[in-house]
């Protein structure tokens, strides 16, 4: 088996405990989320159900590769991944088991889950525009606006190979077709202030520092900077000059994505796995799960973190997020054809 350095220690622990893992009363979670506060979520689940949680963390690629390597012997019960595009990739690799849960189908809006129960979204994030209020009098109001010549040399975005960029272009393919999406990606490339580099926080930092006038990034990166001290994104760094726009409020709504979860294809404790997913859809877990990463709860009516609330409400795109996976390969081809970095 390939080594997985990031969680090698955890792997050893899990293998050593293999017979116990198969016993009733446990659930094994492979998670691409790793926040300190996640512990409370798992502890609360154990307190409510008596089911012990064994957790392994790594990045999405590590988790997917690991599950492939483990094959039918994988102890994974629940898989937590970020972005519908990644959930699609794992699903294509047959790593998930479709499940039917009335609770999940009633609580999670249809657009935030796979149509046949392969995966479910438990928190959402919006991909929005952050802009320098001192430089940009008329910020873009739609994704289409990003490709207009008036924003030439102003926009910062992360690389085309990043899953967030792929999912955004996939949503445009789904709504407007391939030709329009290609023209959009070409126009946006012409408007870049610099070659794509860094993560979402780096794009917002570049607005604060004056390198870019407009950045495309997920909401939670900015909310985190408002609620915590994020390096190079404090008021002293120019953060207070930054305004934001929820795009496409006049038509289809803002492009969103999810933190999602699925039951693993070879789950040895699948009943407990379903219980865990249903627990994640409870009001209390929803509030907490979303707030940890400054996201929006997937379940309507669940409490939104106060900092996130402070960024305002918006109309979200209701495109079924499985479409992001379906158009992912074409999105990558379009970026490649255009020479996107
Ligand atoms: Fe992120």
| pLDDT per residue as tens digits for the range 182-236 | 999 999 999 999 999 999 999 999 999 999 999 999 999 999 999 999 999 999 9
5-124+256-313: CATH architecture: 3-Layer(aba) Sandwich (3.40)
What is the phi/psi pair of residue 308, to 5°?
A: -65, -40
* 35-49, 82-96, 190-204, 315-329, range with the lowest pLDDT: 35-49
**Residue 237: pLDDT band with limits 50, 70, 90:** very high
Q: How many residues are present in the chain? A: 341
221 CA to centre of ligand 1 in angstroms: 7
- DSSP annotation of 133: T
197 CA to centre of ligand 1 in angstroms: 14
94 near 235, Cβ under 8 Å?
no
255 CA to centre of ligand 1 in angstroms: 14
Higher-scoring residue by pLDDT: 13, 274 = 274
201 CA to centre of ligand 1 in angstroms: 9
In this model, does residue 4 exceed pLDDT 80? no
12 CA to centre of ligand 1 in angstroms: 28
In this model, does residue 18 exceed pLDDT 90? no
Query: pTM for the complete prediction?
Result: 0.92
46 CA to centre of ligand 1 in angstroms: 28
Q: How far apart are CA 156 and CA 133, in angstroms?
A: 15
**Residue 24: pLDDT band with limits 50, 70, 90:** low
DSSP, collapsed to helix, strand or coil, labels residue 74 as coil
260 CA to centre of ligand 1 in angstroms: 13
DSSP, collapsed to helix, strand or coil, labels residue 53 as strand
Pairing of strands 296-297, 120-132: antiparallel
Angle at 329 between CA 29 and CA 261, to 5 degrees: 15
pLDDT at 202: 98
Could you give the residue range(s) of every CATH 3.40.190.10 domain in the chain?
Answer: 5-124+256-313, 127-254+324-337
Domain 127-254+324-337 part of CATH 3.40.190.10 = yes
208 CA to centre of ligand 1 in angstroms: 19
Pairing of strands 242-245, 155-156: unpaired
115 CA to centre of ligand 1 in angstroms: 24
Q: Which of 112, 84, 127, 124 is nearest to 247 (CA)?
A: 127
36 CA to centre of ligand 1 in angstroms: 16
């Amino acid at each position: 088996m390939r080594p997985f350095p990031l969680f090698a220690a955890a792997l050893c622990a899990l293998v050593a405990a293999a017979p116990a893992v198969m016993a009733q009363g446990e659930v094994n979670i492979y998670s691409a989320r790793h926040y300190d506060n996640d512990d409370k979520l798992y502890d609360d689940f154990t307190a409510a159900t008596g089911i012990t949680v064994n957790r392994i963390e790594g990045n999405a690629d590590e988790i997917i590769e690991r599950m492939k390597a483990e094959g039918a012997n994988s102890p994974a019960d629940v898989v937590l991944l970020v972005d519908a595009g990644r959930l699609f990739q794992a699903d294509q690799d047959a790593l998930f088991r479709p499940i039917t849960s009335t609770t999940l189908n009633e609580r999670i809006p249809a657009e935030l889950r796979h149509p046949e129960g392969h995966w479910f979204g438990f928190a959402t994030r919006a991909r929005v525009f952050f802009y320098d209020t001192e430089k940009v009098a008329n910020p873009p109001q739609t994704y289409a606006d990003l490709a207009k010549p008036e924003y030439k040399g102003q926009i910062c975005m992360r690389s085309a190979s990043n899953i967030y960029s792929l999912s955004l272009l996939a949503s445009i393919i789904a709504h407007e077709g391939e030709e329009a999406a290609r023209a959009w990606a070409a126009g946006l490339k012409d408007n870049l202030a610099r070659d794509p580099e860094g993560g979402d926080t780096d794009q917002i930092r570049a607005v604060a520092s004056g390198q870019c006038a407009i950045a495309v990034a997920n909401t939670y990166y900015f909310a985190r900077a408002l609620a915590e001290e994020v390096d190079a994104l404090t008021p002293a760094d120019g953060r207070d000059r930054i305004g934001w726009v929820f795009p496409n409020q006049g038509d289809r709504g803002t492009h969103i994505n999810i933190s999602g979860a699925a039951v693993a294809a070879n789950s040895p404790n699948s009943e407990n796995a379903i219980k865990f997913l249903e627990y994640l859809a409870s009001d209390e877990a929803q509030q907490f799960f979303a707030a940890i990463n400054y996201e929006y709860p997937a379940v309507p009516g669940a409490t939104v973190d106060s900092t996130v609330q402070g960024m305002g409400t918006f109309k979200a795109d209701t495109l079924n997020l499985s479409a992001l996976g379906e158009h992912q390969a074409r999105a990558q081809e379009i970026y490649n054809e255009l020479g996107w970095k």
